[in-house]
Amino acid sequence: MKILDVRDLKLPGIKVIRYGRFADQRGFFAEHFRKSDFGSHPKLNFMKGVDFFQCNESYSKPGTIRGLHFQWNPYMGKLVRTLRGRMADIVLDIRKGSPNFGKAIVYDMPSGTDADFCEWIWVPPGFAHGNFFLETTIIEYFCSGEYNPDCEAGISPLASDLDWSLCDPALKNRFDATVSGATLISDKDSKGYSLRSWLARPDAEQFLYEKLRQG
Catalytic residues: 69, 141
- Residue pair 82/115 in contact (Cβ under 8 Å)? The answer is no
Q: Is 196 exposed, middle or buried (0-12, 13-18, 19+ CB in 10 A)?
A: exposed
